[in-house]
Amino acid sequence: MANLQSVPKEAESAESLETATAQTFLLWQWVLGVVLVVAIGSWLVWLSAYVQRMFIEADVRAACERVMPDTVQRCVDTVIIQRGGARR
């Protein structure tokens, strides 16, 4: 029969503490990532709406300058109000 020797168990508290710390760190990284994704995503949505509004306003202004060169601002305001958007 082979010589068998029992190995005493080491304390598991150190391993569980490291695992808990690693899991907490991973959770905070995940939360921070989600917050950053939401913030960047909402900013991109706002930016795209702003750029689209600027392009539409430039198109309306160009059309009003061709049709009514003497009252451009009044024409632009009227068209924007008729389309359902408030300019100011």
What's the farthest any 2 CA atoms get from each other in the chain?
110
Report how far residue 26's alpha carbon sits from residue 14's, in angstroms, rounded to the nearest whole number: 18
Q: Where are the domains of the chain?
A: 27-82
How distant, in Å, are the alpha carbons of 9, 26, 64 from that of 18? 18, 12, 69
List per-residue pLDDT tens for the chain, 88 residues long.
578 887 777 656 556 667 778 788 889 999 999 999 999 999 999 999 999 999 999 999 999 999 988 999 999 999 988 988 765 4
Helices (H), 1-88: 13-67, 72-82
Distance of alpha carbon 33 from alpha carbon 67, whole angstroms = 51
pLDDT for res 59: 93
**Are 75 and 68 in contact, with CB atoms under 8 Å apart?**
yes
